Amino acid sequence: MFRDRRHAGKLLAEALRDRIAGSGWVVLGLPRGGVVVGAEVARALGLPLDVIVTRKIGAPGNPEYAIGAVDADGVVTLGAYAMADHAYVERAAEAEKAEIARRLDAYRRGRPPLLIEGARAIVVDDGLATGLTMISAVEHLKRHGAAHIVVAVPVSPPDTARLLRARADEVVTLAEPSDFFAVGAFYDDFTQTSDAEVIVLLDEFARGVEGE
């Protein structure tokens, strides 16, 4: 369905264009792939771009299976079927919070984050699976005073999109296939995005702001 993340971002920008009225909008990408998609959205709509980092908490013995997510404040969001004791979740959240701090330091390179309080935020990822990291991002933005939150993704399972619609002000998707298997199945090229690519994109938008 999508050639790559840049193609998906361009299509997503068109789906968002008529919904974005007024001022105060910002685009926030979840790393790493969401920043690539978000950069295309921000470029097409003439909006600033920043990163929002949340991290999956994997199940005991199966780190790829998400049972929750944690944000930069250390606030944990658990899934409905999380099976782990409190001590495990606490240890895992601390480890992931350290990785969040590392990424934010590397990605922003000393720049302050975009102001969230009062902003209208478009939160972008390259797709949703369980949606836990996106839910964590939405709840983080609410606590930090975002005025309006739009979740925007190219593809999501229908049940995950419903979960997000109960949390965010709006959810915009390009596809919600009932036969969803994995996000990468909907891309011709789903090559892993590197930290270096994220840094280049954020630097590009920062230079644009500085040059205004």
pLDDT digits (tens, 9 = 90+) for 93-114: 999 999 999 999 999 999 999 9
CA distance 73 to 182: 29
Tokens representing 30 are 């979840």
What is d(CA 74, CA 12) in angstroms, rounded to the nearest whole number?
A: 30
Q: Domain 5-54+115-210 is in which class?
A: alpha beta
Over its C-alpha atoms, the chain yields an Rg (Å, rounded) of: 16
Domain boundaries, the chain: 5-54+115-210
Q: What is the pLDDT of residues 156-201, one digit of tens each?
A: 999 999 999 999 999 999 999 999 999 999 999 999 999 999 999 9
The Cα–Cα gap between 130 and 113 comes to 27
Higher pLDDT, 160 or 209: 160
Q: How far apart are the first and last CA of the chain?
A: 36
Residue 187: per-residue pLDDT: 98
**Phi, psi (deg, nearest 5) at residue 191:** -60, 140
